[in-house]
Amino acid sequence: MPGTWITTRAWLLMLPLLVIMVAVIGWPLVDTVRLSFTDAKLVGTAGGFVGFDNYAKMLGGSNFQRALITTTWFAVVSVAAEMVLGVLAALLLNQQFRGRTALRALMILPWALPTVVNATLWRLIYNPEYGALNAALTQLGLLESYRSWLGEPGSALIALIVADCWKNFPLVALIALAALQAVPRDITAAALVDGAGPLNRFRYVIMPYLAGPLLVALVLRTIEAFKVFDIIWVMTRGGPANSTRTLSILVYQEAFSFQRAGSGASLALIVTLLVTILAVAYAALLRKAAGAS
């Protein structure tokens, strides 16, 4: 058969990679699927087959539903805020002014910080006894006395969203800035002469150039936000009163804190499925946008 040798050699060359991928991705995935149908504990019992019990219990439980709402809220608000902030920052940094290059470099800084460092930093800012936010707000007269921003269910999620935005809007800004630089100068000049004000120029002239790249940023950020774990774990561990418990936190608690490996696995697979649906929907959207331009 022609090409047999080539095919064999290709497989041989790929073999090491395949072995590693099967070992670190394939096997854990298969094992997670297997686990999700058992009542296995993290330590001790291997567990017996329980069918779809875990899925039914998780999907029907109030914990999952509440975590889904929390996650969606977190993702929608933080991504929306990041998009708006990012585009505004990009518009600003696209203007001609002294120190623009330095400011562009500075802007990337929050994004370049490791999430754990960023989270620790914001925990200090929100600190109820010596936090900078409390100090600033009381000194400005906007706040009577120090508050525990992360300690109150009403404010903890918002505080987390602010911290997440601060870290991630630079990515959006960077993508938007690159897109803005691709807008031909003549076209904005033509719009000026045509009498388009700043809002109309943005809407009719700049936005068409921005839409595609922003959609990519939106896809990336939504999927990331939906999977959010580290920033929340460092800052609130899902508390207070589970008010910041997102799906990933719930998975972690189920599998590791409560050591219920079986139901933890089923929850993890549910989250994976949700993110996959998001990703596929966005991919279709992107293809449509690419076709339209």
Write out the residues near another protein by the rule CB under 8 A.
184, 186-187, 189-197, 200, 204-205, 208
Minimum Å gap between C-beta 196 and another protein is 5
Is the Cβ of residue 211 or residue 285 nearer to another protein in the bound state? 211
* CB nearer another protein, residue 31 or residue 194: 194
Q: Which is nearer to another protein, 192 or 241 (CB)?
A: 192
Q: Please, where are the H alpha helices in the chain?
A: 4-21, 27-36, 53-60, 62-93, 100-112, 115-125, 132-139, 153-180, 185-193, 198-200, 207-226, 230-235, 247-252, 261-292
Largest CA distance in the chain: 83
- Secondary structure class of 37 (helix, strand, coil): coil
Do residues 35 and 265 lie in contact, with contact meaning Cβ atoms separated by under 8 Å? yes
Closest contact distance (angstroms) between CB of 54 and another protein is 50
Taking the C-alpha atoms of 203, 209, 213 and 218 in order, what is their torsion angle to the nearest 10 degrees?
10
Measured from the CB of residue 215, what is the shortest distance to another protein in angstroms?
15
Closest of 211, 206, 210, 185 to residue 196, by C-alpha: 206
Taking the complex as a whole, how short is the minimal distance between the CB of residue 194 and another protein, in angstroms? 4
| Distance in Å, CB of 98 to another protein, minimum | 13
User: What is the nearest approach in angstroms of another protein to the Cβ of residue 285?
Assistant: 18
Tokens of 160: 């987390």
Closest CB to another protein among residues 143, 191: 191
Closer CB to another protein, residue 192 or residue 280? Answer: 192
3-state SS, residue 190: helix
Residue (109 or 192) nearer to another protein, CB: 192
User: Rounded to the nearest 5°, which phi and psi values hold at 168?
Assistant: -105, -15
Closest CA to 156 of 275, 245, 269: 245
